[in-house]
Amino acid sequence: MKLHGRSGLEDKTMEDLAVRGVPYRYEEVRVSYEKPASRHKYTPDFILPNGIIVETKGIFEVADRQKHELVKAQHPGLDIRFVFSRSKSPIRKGSKTTYASWCAGRGIPFSDKVIPQAWIDEADNPERHAAIAAASA
């Protein structure tokens, strides 16, 4: 089966979800958010059936971090979680802050390499779906 992610980690996540029989929506919605004085769109990588949004990141650049802080502030109902290639990577060369500690400091769940089964098994939450619908309107 040919996978169509935009990164190797997205491809591996698609394959992992397929092997586990977990349905998902891939880059199907566009979430509006504003940077000061301009509007932008964020396209989540994966949306699980229970409404959890999963963003896969190999490199978590400053622009990505800024975007996610803006999205979180403007759409607090979205349940966005991260899967990193390596969560112990520093956010920039020489920094003691890692991707993991950046997420932990903001209360954002994260994992390495695969979506944890616990996230997939979490109960469906209509509020998550409503937040996705409102954010993409």
Note the pLDDT tens digit of each residue in 73-100: 999 999 999 999 999 999 999 999 999 9
Domain of residue 53 covers 8-135
Q: Which two tokens stand for residue 4?
A: 């169509």
Q: Give a yes or no: residue 2 inside a domain.
A: no
In a domain, 25, yes or no: yes
Instruction: Indicate which CATH number applies to the domain containing 102.
Output: 3.40.91.30
Does 46 map to a domain? Answer: yes
Question: Which residues have CB under 8 Å from 131's CB, separation 6+?
Answer: 51, 75, 77, 78, 79
Residue 33 has pLDDT above 90, yes or no: no
Place of tokens 């109902």: 77
Residue 3 lies in a domain: no
Average pLDDT, rounded, for the chain: 92
Question: How many folded domains does the chain comprise?
Answer: 1
pLDDT level of residue 1 (50, 70, 90 thresholds): very low
Query: Is residue 106, in this structure, part of any structural domain at all?
Result: yes
In this structure, is residue 81 part of a structural domain?
A: yes
In a domain, 129, yes or no: yes
**pLDDT tens digits, 99-123:** 999 999 999 999 999 999 999 999 9
Q: ∠ CA(123), CA(113), CA(89), 5° rounding?
A: 120
Q: How far is Cα 136 from Cα 26, in angstroms, rounded to an integer?
A: 14
Nearest to 84 by CA among 65, 57, 64: 57
Using CA atoms of 31, 32, 33, 35 in order, give the dihedral in degrees to the nearest 10: 130
Angle at 72 between CA 30 and CA 104, to 5 degrees: 125
pLDDT higher for 39 or 102?
102
Domain for residue 1, yes or no? Answer: no
